[in-house]
Structure 1
């Protein structure tokens, strides 16, 4: 605590409150005592592992100070410099033994290796302590390096030479900066404007009870455009929580009324509203789409979380758009269509279903691709019943 506090003085605009444990197993209990804050930082991997299962319920970002090669290297250098103990005469407990092996490999160490114990939440701290003590009493070691503070305290009480694992100052600074950045990003993302468009799919006014439930779940206010259409106003944070808990998706699937719902994100209400209007053109009944401020189309929820960009600066796609007279959006959709399919071959019917346009429009798109060498005819598919055979195509450009 004292070390982190002294290092944190070098970072602007952060304030740290500490919740101290005697044993790492107490971390889940301490979680319930935390007062409102912007982010959570665990002092080590072990308390993080004990509390990991409860972190998904937290509405704030979290991080932990990881044990890495820098910590191992710094600690071993300190040991050799200050205590002159050979590496094969130490017992060390670490989260990941491979990190110690990596350090020894990097320094080209070829002698007998130290005694290494693996720390895990299934291994009692007392058993790790007893193993260190047994090695000391057997005269197999001269020193102990431990990652567990309570073990260090016990070894000190028994007058067994020991030191704690040293976290490098730069590593702690980096972790504090990362946690601060996560908090700032979460805040900026959660307060973005989000505008929703709710439209009845049938010629039937939207049910008042349904509207009330949607606004409650998304923490939104609304404006009536017509009995068949409403605008919803909320934030990206509130909408994201509603989607994460699947409350909104469940409501859509349980209702008997058919309607479309789409949202737009933006740095202003005007921008968010414009994006919502674009997103609603993709929506089908009982599905939700989101168009963010970067023109990325997310959805449909709850079936999948497809991300499709509606804006591109990829010169390859822009060149294709120029040559074929197709929009970059349609080309992006075709690329995603190819990535999703198990087969490289497709018919105009397959593509029409994906693009959500008419068969005639799809055939015009395919003709432009074929005429410019971006697709080719590879065969025909005979229908099960009477009718014209369907042409089979393959795309003839890179999609990855």
Structure 2
């Protein structure tokens, strides 16, 4: 099955992409053409169903950037880089024989031109460089080129904006478009196609959910129907107080992104536990769901993916914890302290989320959701092995013992 890619670009660039796309198997291109890059956000609303979106340059992408998060499909854009600039300058020198100091060039990032000139060890007078940005109109960039031409300061213009090229041609000012290397465009098309295939693959991944409710407080069918509708899942009743849900990663992700599931959970007045597992098979997903359920507290949702990353708890936060790690540093810590890699991962995330580097055992107990005695054992192992240190005390009440203040003594980033 071919991947349908919507391309937002100029008419001139359409011809370039069309000739190149013929060399790539299993892609179909739908073009949405603009006269000015500022029209890109409007063209987004005209797009028909497709698998991915590609912008024919950085400028149209920047104009549409603020609304891209709403798209359910992956997107990409053809980036201007040193390769495009060096290819264009080489073409200019070989075919026009014009010295660089007699050229005006507009680019997204002037540093790229500087980098190319440095790489070729160019020591002469540099070309006139006009930076492009979404805050500067294409008309003002055109006027800068024209002013240099009228002042007889240049003999040629290189432009990254197709509408500017057309107007320069109409004014009979010698000009050429920036040349995007064929390999760069092929790579971008292949990358966009791969993003689409990966998104589809991830979306169809098997997901099993486990829902548990107290035996003395059964869940009515209306609530169960709302949960299965929100997650687009089917269900099987395992016991009178537990259910298995079957859906896909794509459906669950949408339910979480739109907060449909979190909002529904907050409306349920009865305590419950809900966990989901991802997997490459129903069996693997079910095992991961069972493991995730052991972390779930009442009215919380956890997810364990196929890489043993624990996500949650929803709706309070979205913490990613690795239950499996190959990091030799974490494994060495686990070996020295006799703590599990999971606990070390939790402590690292605890420290990253805090505004202060200092903490008390009470702070850590609340985060880990364990008993105070368990937390004190964990802290003692960290201190004994030099991974934490005592830095002070705090008196929170007039009576009672002061709380010890700790600070972690290892890298967490």
1:124 matches 2:132:
no
For residue 56 of structure 1, what is the aligned residue in structure 2? 69
| Cα distance change, pair 148–312 in 1 and its aligned pair in 2 (3 A) | same
- Counterpart of 2:368 (choices 336, 343, 355) is 355
> Deviation of residue 73 (structure 1)?
1.3
Equivalences for 1:11-30 in 2 at 5 Å? 11-30=24-43
CA contact (8 A) 1:206 1:227 kept: no
1:379 & 1:135 partners in 2: Cα distance?
67
Bigger shift: 222-231 or 41-50?
222-231
1:247 & 1:257 partners in 2: Cα distance?
18
1:177 matches 2:190:
yes
For residue 205 of structure 2, what is the aligned residue in structure 1? 192
| Cα distance change, pair 84–359 in 1 and its aligned pair in 2 (3 A) | same
1:85 & 1:376 partners in 2: Cα distance?
68
CA deviation map 1:364-390 (0-9, x unaligned): 434444555545556655562544555
2:358 & 2:50 partners in 1: Cα distance?
53
Secondary structure, in 3 states, of the residue corresponding to 2:303?
strand
For residue 261 of structure 1, what is the aligned residue in structure 2? 274
1:88 matches 2:101:
yes
2:342 & 2:67 partners in 1: Cα distance?
41
- Counterpart of 2:148 (choices 131, 135, 141) is 135
2:100 & 2:156 partners in 1: Cα distance?
9
For residue 246 of structure 2, what is the aligned residue in structure 1? 233
1:196 & 1:385 partners in 2: Cα distance?
48
Bigger shift: 91-100 or 333-342?
333-342
CA deviation map 1:254-309 (0-9, x unaligned): 44333232211111111111111221222234432211100011122333321110
For residue 145 of structure 1, what is the aligned residue in structure 2? 158
Secondary structure, in 3 states, of the residue corresponding to 2:208?
strand
CA contact (8 A) 1:202 1:258 kept: no
For residue 217 of structure 1, what is the aligned residue in structure 2? 230
Structure 1: any 5+ residue segments left out of the alignment? none
| Cα distance change, pair 320–88 in 1 and its aligned pair in 2 (3 A) | closer
The TM-score with structure 1 as length reference comes to 0.89
CA contact (8 A) 1:89 1:142 kept: yes
For residue 44 of structure 1, what is the aligned residue in structure 2? 57
Structure 2: any 5+ residue segments left out of the alignment? 1-13
For residue 8 of structure 2, what is the aligned residue in structure 1? none
The TM-score with structure 2 as length reference comes to 0.87
> Deviation of residue 72 (structure 1)?
1.2
1:159 matches 2:177:
no
Number of aligned residue pairs: 400
Secondary structure, in 3 states, of the residue corresponding to 1:16?
strand
Secondary structure, in 3 states, of the residue corresponding to 1:22?
coil
CA contact (8 A) 1:143 1:161 kept: yes
1:78 matches 2:91:
yes
For residue 115 of structure 1, what is the aligned residue in structure 2? 128
Bigger shift: 375-384 or 322-331?
375-384
Secondary structure, in 3 states, of the residue corresponding to 1:290?
strand
The CA RMSD over aligned residues, in Å, is 2.6
> Deviation of residue 196 (structure 1)?
1.7
1:15 & 1:394 partners in 2: Cα distance?
57
